[in-house]
Amino acid sequence: MSDPVSSETTPTTSVVRGILREIAQPFIDLVHASRALWGVNLSYLLEGLTYFGVLAYLAIYFNTYVGLNDIQAGQMVGILTAGITLSMLFLGATVDLIGARKALLLALGLMLVGRVLLSASPILGGGLGIWSTTHLVAMFGILWIVLGYGIYQPACYAAVKFFTTEKNATMGYAMLYGIMNLGAFLAGIIAPPIRHATSMIGVFWVYSGFTVLGIVVVAVILTRRAMDSAIAEGGTKTTIEERKPLREQVLFYVRNFPIRDYRFMFFIFILIPVQTLFAHNWLTLPQYCSRAFQGTVSDNFEFFSQVQSLLIFILTPIVAAFSGRMNTYTMMIVGTFVMASPAFILALGPSIYTLSSYLIIMTVGEAIWSPRFLQWVAEIAPKNMTGIYMGIGQFPWFLTKVITSMYSGWFLMHYCPEGVAPSQMHTQTMWFIYGIIAVSTPIGLLLARKWMMKGFRTKHEG
């Protein structure tokens, strides 16, 4: 008779269980997060769907309904995306001054006005081309979206800081980033049937409706009681009543701007080259998928230009659970290198295999570094300065959008032009150049590592 199997846990089993428990715990902590945090997440989901849904169409919208060429259309998209980042620099402090709920409602109201104008511009305007009435109405709509979004994103990240505890903070930031990308992916699923049934303008009107729903979500879920409960649970004592007078706050902001911290400034500006790949997701990828491919990819370019967002939603919390205690700077080097490298795969030529590889590998890299950067900026901010720090931390992103939008249309016209057979295009050269640009970020971070690590410490470093 054989000996019964020992019921004692082996050392290997204990180690495995410990690892699994450590990975699962952040998810468990997030599930038990406050109602206020989940209200912010739901609002961010709807806004991610709406913002990226409009963004995927915007260059084509300016081509089709306003009569602009690729260079002009890319510049118009750049005005929106860069304008949003610039507005964060000036409006990010709104949440510090009036609180999360009021800031979110104000931001969504401004964006609703802008999206209605954008949807109605072909009807309200007249004529085609640059500076036509149609163009002016569309740009007036973009202005309101820029103002609203400049308040919205800093308000959301400030809310996560207030509504999370030490246990679920890392996962809270990761989930907010992931949920935004889930919304972007859902836009790729929802938009094609609506566009086929109506038109691109019909899709824009649906997104205006989602903005109204976002306002309802904030008004109903993010109540004062829910926020106070979340703040008390997270140990954050700051309330509107405790804030200093406006003049004192402004002077405090001026005295504590981090622009004198050279390491901080280098850190955020060296990210510009790799961030150009983010901008190409809406400036280049939709046109690349619709022009350089035939059949399924071309007919469903919205899906293929947004599928990366679903991967981000899945991978970001998993990566956060694995890497929550790892050195921040090391994660930035690894993540930016992984994100930059697949551009060279697209340089092999357009195919479903190179496109899929690019989307998957780039997404893994983004999931490694991008949420950690946003969390780092939010949590190193002094008390009552989260919004303004988010705005300053995003300023290089503004430059990225401006710079990329200035040359992306030229590259499309020369290497991926409309109306030309895919076999006659030279997209390989375009993506090779984009890869060279992007990979300079991890190289710069690696070369500066010793200098940066002399005084570069955050509480998230292991």
Is residue 461 in some structural domain? no
Is residue 19 in some structural domain? no
Residues in the chain: 462
CATH number at residue 227: 1.20.1250.20
Is residue 444 in some structural domain? yes
Distances (CA, A) of 92 to 36, 154, 314, 412: 20, 5, 29, 34
Task: Answer for the pair 323, 371: CB distance below 8 angstroms, yes or no.
Answer: no
pLDDT of residue 64: 87
Q: Each residue's pLDDT tens digit in the chain (462 positions)? A: 444 444 445 655 654 555 455 445 545 555 556 778 888 888 999 998 999 889 888 988 998 899 888 888 888 888 898 788 788 878 877 887 788 889 999 999 999 999 999 999 988 877 788 889 999 999 999 999 999 998 998 888 888 877 877 666 667 777 777 788 788 888 878 888 898 889 889 999 999 999 999 999 999 988 888 787 777 765 444 444 355 666 666 676 666 666 666 777 788 889 999 999 988 987 888 888 888 887 767 676 667 666 777 777 778 777 777 766 677 778 889 999 999 999 999 999 988 899 889 988 998 898 888 877 866 676 666 666 666 677 677 778 778 878 888 899 899 999 999 888 888 899 999 999 999 999 999 999 999 888 877 754 444 343
Is residue 9 in some structural domain? no
Q: Which positions ≥6 away from 345 have C-beta within 8 Å?
A: 354, 357, 358, 361
Is residue 7 in some structural domain? no
Is residue 15 in some structural domain? no
Distances (CA, A) of 112 to 8, 102, 206: 61, 15, 12
pTM above 0.75, yes or no: no
Is residue 312 in some structural domain? yes
Ramachandran class of 349: left when φ > 0, alpha when ψ lies in -120 to 50, beta otherwise: left
Place of tokens 């004692």: 8
pLDDT of residue 385: 67
Question: Considering only CA atoms, which of 281, 275, 280 is closest in space to residue 306?
Answer: 281
pLDDT of residue 174: 74
Cα three-residue angle 317-318-320, rounded to 5 degrees: 60
Distances (CA, A) of 424 to 70, 301, 352: 18, 20, 18
Domain around 240? 29-455
- Tell me the two tokens of residue 177: 């980033």
Question: What is the C-alpha separation between 161 and 386, in angstroms, rounded?
Answer: 8
pLDDT of residue 361: 92
Is residue 16 in some structural domain? no
The count of domains in the chain is: 1
Task: Answer for the pair 305, 188: CB distance below 8 angstroms, yes or no.
Answer: yes
